[in-house]
Amino acid sequence: MKRVLILFALGVLVTSFIQNFARKAAASGAPDDPRIARVMRILRDGVSATTEEQIRITEIPAPPFQESARAAYMKKLLTGAGLRVETDDTGNVIGEWPGTSPEIIMIAAHMDTVFPAGTDVRVKREGGRLLAPGISDNGTGLAALVALSNAFRDAKIKTNRTILFVADVGEEGEGNLRGMRALAEAYKKRLKYVLALDGSAIEYVTTSALASRRVEITITGPGGHSWSDFGAPNPIHAMGRGIARFVTVHVSESPRTSFNVGEIEGGTSVNSIPASAQMKVDLRSESESELAAIEGHLRDAVKAGIDEEMSAARERGMAGSANLLNLKINVLGVRPAGELPENSPLLAALLTADTQLGNRSRRERSSTDANIPLSMGIHAISLGAGGRSGGAHTLDEWYDPTGRELGLQRVALAVLSLAGLEP
Ligand SMILES: [Zn+2]
């Protein structure tokens, strides 16, 4: 009898614990809340409207440093979703979904593309595929911002934390993450989590930020005639000597480190000694110290190349005070490294969403908008917003919206569980 009583008491305890837990889970936005189910349904039913919006966004050109036309359109769309929208001095469009708490969850998607002004960005349809430069990177992320904010409004969601839906500038190339830098700086005191929506892929999530540096090196000299001034120091020869030294550098496989001389320029004609030579070099590493080491090696190699060219000029009697080479090194971009903590609630929320949707994702390291908050100790990830795509950063880029609802629902589940639902 005593034993039965104890078992009964235990049973009551366990039941009340489970009920309590379920109540708490519901309050923080568990999937059984009817409002969450409504958001899931709205996102699924709205897939083709989202794709049509993606086409309209993609067809507004957004070359590097020229995002303003697309920004104006994004402002209109986010305002239409019922958000308070403003554009900051950097050009970011910020739509606020006010919560009861000032703490912020930011969902960001970059507006800029890598394509120069004049690129044909009209979207062509081929079977189930959409083709256009920038259609997925980052038409997918921008369309997702619109779909999510509309779904939250239509499902009459109320959240504890404030959500910022942000279309940001300057993610690609020499934009040097300037949009996210400004956002992180402006909101750092209240910013809890950042989700950067970039492209389509949902089979991985970026949780580590790859450090990178982009360097422009210019060597200038006196120039001259290829025959009558022969022997004078030649900037292209000096740069060639420097590159030949640099590229033999041994880089570590772990932490993985890479280098690339990606652009080279200089000279005016085949029979002139050029007055200048210029190159752009991209350096990346999983480790800040490896990155610093390889940058040091690059600088040393270029200086040694110049010394070698000058000593050749001296041997030919052409190294007078008017015949010197000058070196200028200009850092074009710095992307800091960073790591999402293993026990981050942001990662837990995303993995839970994956489980709920039957999705599997692996973790990756990459260079994205998430680099900036991660380097400041703010929890951030970069992830795709659903569908399939290929050919990013090429004129043959394509997007297939099949299955995009999964990507949208995944973001919504993670964000709503982090934001917490208010009754
Ligand atoms: Zn992108």
Hey, which bits of 91-210 come out as E strands?
93-97, 101-110, 124-126, 129-131, 161-168, 191-197, 204-209
377's torsion region: left (phi>0), alpha (psi -120 to 50) or beta? left
Let me know: does 403 contact 14? Beta carbons within 8 Å: no
Let me know: does 350 contact 383? Beta carbons within 8 Å: yes
Å from CA of 273 to ligand 1 middle: 41
Å from CA of 97 to ligand 1 middle: 24
- Starting at the edge strand found earlier in the chain, the sheet holding 211-220 runs 257-266, 276-285, 211-220, 326-335
Å from CA of 29 to ligand 1 middle: 29
Sequential pLDDT tens for the chain (423 residues): 445 444 444 444 444 444 444 444 434 445 578 999 999 999 999 999 999 999 999 999 999 999 999 999 999 999 999 999 999 999 999 999 999 999 999 999 999 999 999 999 999 999 999 999 999 999 999 999 999 999 999 999 999 999 999 999 999 988 899 999 999 999 999 999 999 999 999 999 999 999 999 999 999 999 999 999 999 999 999 999 999 999 999 998 988 999 999 999 999 999 999 999 999 999 999 888 999 999 999 999 999 999 999 999 999 999 888 899 999 999 998 999 999 999 999 999 999 999 999 999 999 999 899 999 999 999 999 999 999 999 999 999 999 999 999 999 999 999 999 999 998
Q: Cβ–Cβ contacts within 10 Å for residue 330, how many?
A: 11
Å from CA of 114 to ligand 1 middle: 9
Closest CA to 259 of 288, 283, 290: 283
With the C-alpha atoms ordered 22, 351, 183, 53, is the resulting torsion angle positive or negative? negative
Side chain identity at residue 280, one-letter code: K
Question: 3-class DSSP state for residue 237?
Answer: helix
Q: Phi, psi at residue 58, to the nearest 5°?
A: -60, -35
Q: Who contacts 12 (Cβ-Cβ below 8 Å, separation ≥6)?
A: none
Closest CA to 75 of 50, 56, 94: 94
Å from CA of 199 to ligand 1 middle: 6
Closest CA to 111 of 83, 82, 79, 77: 77
Å from CA of 418 to ligand 1 middle: 24
Distance of CA 373 to the CA centre of its chain: 11
Q: Cβ–Cβ contacts within 10 Å for residue 413, how many?
A: 24
Å from CA of 166 to ligand 1 middle: 14
Å from CA of 198 to ligand 1 middle: 5
Let me know: does 242 contact 218? Beta carbons within 8 Å: no
Å from CA of 107 to ligand 1 middle: 14
Percent helix, strand and coil across the chain, each to the nearest 5 = 40, 25, 35
In angstroms, the Cα distances linking 137 to 282, 389, 391 are 21, 9, 10
Let me know: does 186 contact 178? Beta carbons within 8 Å: no
Distance of CA 289 to the CA centre of its chain: 22
Hey, which bits of 145-236 come out as E strands?
161-168, 191-197, 204-209, 211-220, 224-225
* Per-residue pLDDT, 268: 96
Let me know: does 157 contact 83? Beta carbons within 8 Å: no
Å from CA of 229 to ligand 1 middle: 48
**How does 103-136 read in b/e, with b if 16+ C-beta sit within 10 Å?**
bbbbbbbbbbbbbeeeeebebeeeeebbbbbbbb
Which protein residues have their CB within 5 A of the ion that is ligand 1? 137-138, 198
Å from CA of 172 to ligand 1 middle: 7
Hey, which bits of 210-358 come out as E strands?
211-220, 224-225, 257-266, 272-273, 276-285, 326-335, 338-339
* Per-residue pLDDT, 32: 73
pLDDT tens digits for range 173-224: 888 999 999 999 999 999 999 999 999 999 999 999 999 999 999 999 999 9
What is the DSSP-derived secondary structure letter of residue 63?
Answer: -
Does pTM surpass 0.75?
yes
Å from CA of 137 to ligand 1 middle: 5
Å from CA of 96 to ligand 1 middle: 23
Å from CA of 300 to ligand 1 middle: 33
Å from CA of 341 to ligand 1 middle: 23
